[in-house]
Amino acid sequence: MTAEEVKAEQDISMEGTDISPKGDHGVLKEIKKEGTGGATPMIGDKVSVHYTGWLLDGTKFDSSRDRKDKFTFDLGKGQVIKAWDIAVATMKAGEICRITCKPEFAYGASGSPPKIPPNAVLIFEIELFDFQGEDLSTEEDGGIIRRIRVKGEGYAKPNEGAVVELWLQGSHNGRVFDERDLRFEVGEGEGLRIPSGVETALQQMEKGEEAVLYLKPKHGFGSAGCEAYQIPPDAEIQYEIKLKSFEKAKESWEMNSDEKLEQGALVKERGTEYFKAGRYRQAIIQYKKIIQWLEHESGLSEDEAAKSKSLLLAASLNLSACYLKLSEYRQALEHCNKALEFDANNEKGLFRRGEAYVGVNELELAKDDFVKVIQLYPGNKAARAHLTQCQQRIREQHQREKIIYANMFQRLAEKEEKESAKVAKEPPPPGDVEMSDGTEEAQQSEAPGHAGCC
């Protein structure tokens, strides 16, 4: 839209569909090009747009098109003016619209000097290209995508151990497999057939929030699926959730030393129950609480310090065991090393670190740990068996390397031989002989039969 076109349309600039929340004509919208599909962006979605902005007198003050660079922002998070959060939420992919917004939905009484004066009514043309939900997975691999239908209240969010009350509905390929009202403690969801991705998302939600979750298998029911819900292995699933209320668990800073030690012993026992039941992810949550509460605790008495060390050592060892069961060897290594900081010759710590080193194919380091276990604890038959297997794998690895290097050197020798033979057969390049005064050329021309002789 040119400045002239804007001026020509000034008489209708305050017309259009009123989309302001209170119906006060604060934001008016006119669709210039219809979008496709029925979906519109939700709160928290990352949206990508092109836009141009004008003052009412037709002065253009900004344009992403002029910069040839699309603009992206998170919808409903206050990253743009209010009019944009309102208008873009009504758009479909591919849609182009014009919005007219009053100052209170734009830059208000202050304006945005030097281009936008105080109390300015603004006109924008916006084209929406695409939008996608917020990724809550720690790996940022799209494993847990959240889209917020209704924003919650306040800023508080549930933490691990919080008691939450919610409604949820799970579906797979359009089929609802679970719908219920629940009250449970965050971290206990596995026993209620609630996927880990739901519990992760709950810790990012506000009271009253209504959200849609899209879970990849890792954060859903994994490679096992869920027979009770007829969910096949490696299935992507969807949940709709309304968080009605929650009671936060006490944070570390809210507990004194006695409470931390008392609670630490309780969650250790709970984690062990989960471990024995094969519920390793839930066990990890419990053991991590001990480290969170006690790792940096200071000012303990001698007796308290001994109890704290014992709990921290047990938590680190048990975390390493959980991660070994889950074949997550790097995390297992991390917690073995923590355990060995408390007790450098700990039998379980050394043995499990050896297992973790095998898992990441650090065989020489694994061998060293198994040897040390045997030296310190000669009766450890498992360490002897692992050492034998480890030594066998090292020999096989050396043999493979020997063959690889032998083949590599043979290929290099053959290549050099071929290049040498090729150089020997090639005639000297033209002009290769230096002739400073023509003497050599004269001598060659005087030698009978020199040219072309063989």
Catalytic residues: 51, 61-62, 81, 107, 124
By DSSP bridging, strand 237-247 and strand 163-172 are antiparallel
Q: How many degrees, rounded to 5, is the angle at CA 251 between CA 133 and CA 183?
A: 60
C-alpha distance from residue 99 to each of 64, 310, 335, 366, 401 (Å): 16, 64, 56, 66, 68
DSSP 8-class letter at 317: H
Q: For the chain, what's the residue count?
A: 454
Q: How many degrees, rounded to 5, is the angle at CA 183 between CA 177 and CA 188?
A: 80
- The torsion angle over the Cα atoms of residues 197, 200, 202 and 206, rounded to 10 degrees, is -130
Which residues does 196 contact at the CB level (< 8 Å), separation at least 6? Answer: 189, 190, 219, 281
Amino acid at 385: A
DSSP 8-class letter at 20: -
For the chain, the helix, strand and coil percentages under 3-state DSSP, each to the nearest 5:
45, 20, 35
- Would the CA dihedral through 195, 198, 203, 207 be positive or negative? negative
Cβ burial 318-356 (10 Å sphere, 16+ → b, else e): bbbbbbbeeebbebbbebbebbbeeeeebebbbbbbbbb
What residues are paired with 237 via a beta bridge? 215
Are 168 and 180 within 8 A, CB to CB? yes
Which tokens in the block code for residue 191? 């026993």
226: left (phi over 0), alpha (psi -120 to 50) or beta: beta
Amino acid at 198: V
Gap between the Cα atoms of 353 and 339, Å rounded: 10
